[in-house]
Each structure stands twice: as structure tokens, then as C-alpha cells.
Amino acid sequence: MMQHLATALGGVLAGFALAVPLLWQQQRTLTKVRWEATHDDITGLPNRRLFLDRLRAALAGDTPVGVVLLDLNNFKAVNDTLGHEVGNDLLDQVGRRLAGLPGPVLAARLSGDEFALLVTGDRDTTAIAANAAWQVIAAHSIRVVNGDLHATASVGYTHTHTHRSLIGTRELLSQADSAMYEAKVTTGRVREYLPHRTATVRSRDRQHH
């Protein structure tokens, strides 16, 4: 009787010993799949999907937040002249600098050379983050695989309290994008979304194209 019990117990333990590594591997695979679905494969930053999820959650909780959009000036020229490996390295280094910004800031890569910051706080906090993002990119050259590059960015930002009406993710992204566009066609630095000024810049730009 005892021998049968010992044999049965041994079988259970052996099965358990085999199952644990399998379950651990399955958990690792699931974690990896989830991470890859919400993060950018070049920079490791949150991707557009995760950024929008966090933005929607903040808006649903009535949390005051700002959205900062930026893209790198002349990034296409880097890819065309130096190659995609250098371009990807530049994106990675820019992502690292943005991820290191202080304060309640979530940095994400949306697509191409376009990055975004989700800033929890008031308009002043958002303005500080937007200017800090420009500064960390432009202040010092960026080491890439075959040397150093000097990069600059066009930065636009907006805030949920810019207007006193309800606003959603699409409107915030559109506003920040308009401000970024204004920065690109004027100074190439940092601009806040201001409806009348942005509309004038877009109108003037269309007249020259």
C-alpha cells in the first residue's frame, strides 16, 4: 500500500516538475507578446496603441493632461544619405533622451520619426516638458553607429484645459499636430496650440505651395 502511494506521489511530483517549466515558458511568451503589442520595437518606448490607451484613461478620469508631439527635422535625409541603420540608431537615442525627461511624463513613439509625450499636470507643466523635449534633442550631438549627429525637432503641444469644452483624444492629437506643423514651418522649435494663429500659418503655407 505504502509502495503504491509512494509510486503515485512520485508520478505526481514528476508531472509537476515537468509542468512548471512549461507554464513558466508559456507565461514568458504571453508577457513578450503583450509587450510587443504595446511597445515600439526600435526604441522600446510605448507605441501609439498604448499612448492612446493612457490618454483615454486620463480623459475618462478627468485628469488634466497635456499632449506634446514632435518629429525630427530632416530625418529623411539621414535615412537617404547615411542609411536606415543610422536612422534607427538615431530614433533609439532620441527615444532614450525623451524617456529620461523628469516629471509625470510618458514618452512614446507613434510612427516614423514622430514621438509623443503624455504630460500629467497643468499647462505650465506641459510647456516645460515640451521645451525640455526640444532641449534634450538639440542641446548635444547624438552618438550613432558611425559618428555623431546634430539633431533638432519641431515640437507642438496642447492641454485639456486650453479650452473649457469637452475634448477627446482625436481633438488633442489634432491640436498638438497643428502646433507642431506651425513650429516646423516657422521656427522649427516649440509652439503651443492657439487656434487663430495656427490657422493663419496653415493658410500662408498653402499659398506658397
From the list 40, 113, 124, 148, the catalytic residue is 113
Q: What's the confidence (pLDDT) of residue 145?
A: 80
How far CA 117 is from CA of 31, 60, 130, 156, 170, in Å, comes to 25, 18, 8, 10, 15
Q: What's the confidence (pLDDT) of residue 162?
A: 66
Ranges of the chain whose pLDDT falls below 70: 1-20, 22-33, 162-166, 196-209
Q: What's the confidence (pLDDT) of residue 29?
A: 66
pLDDT digits (tens, 9 = 90+) for 40-87: 999 999 999 999 999 999 999 989 999 999 999 999 999 899 999 999
Which positions ≥6 away from 72 have C-beta within 8 Å?
78, 90, 94, 113, 137, 151, 152, 153
Q: What's the confidence (pLDDT) of residue 103?
A: 87
Amino acid at 44: G
Q: What's the confidence (pLDDT) of residue 161?
A: 82
**Could you give the CA distance from residue 79 to residue 42 in angstroms, rounded to a whole number?**
15
User: So where are the chain's domains?
Assistant: 1-38, 48-207
Amino acid at 66: G
How far CA 192 is from CA of 25, 126, 196, in Å, comes to 47, 10, 12
Q: What's the confidence (pLDDT) of residue 3?
A: 55
Q: Which of 137, 140, 122, 139 is nearest to 192 (CA)?
A: 122
- What CATH class is the domain 48-207? alpha beta
205 part of the active site: no
Q: What is the three-class DSSP state of 188?
A: coil
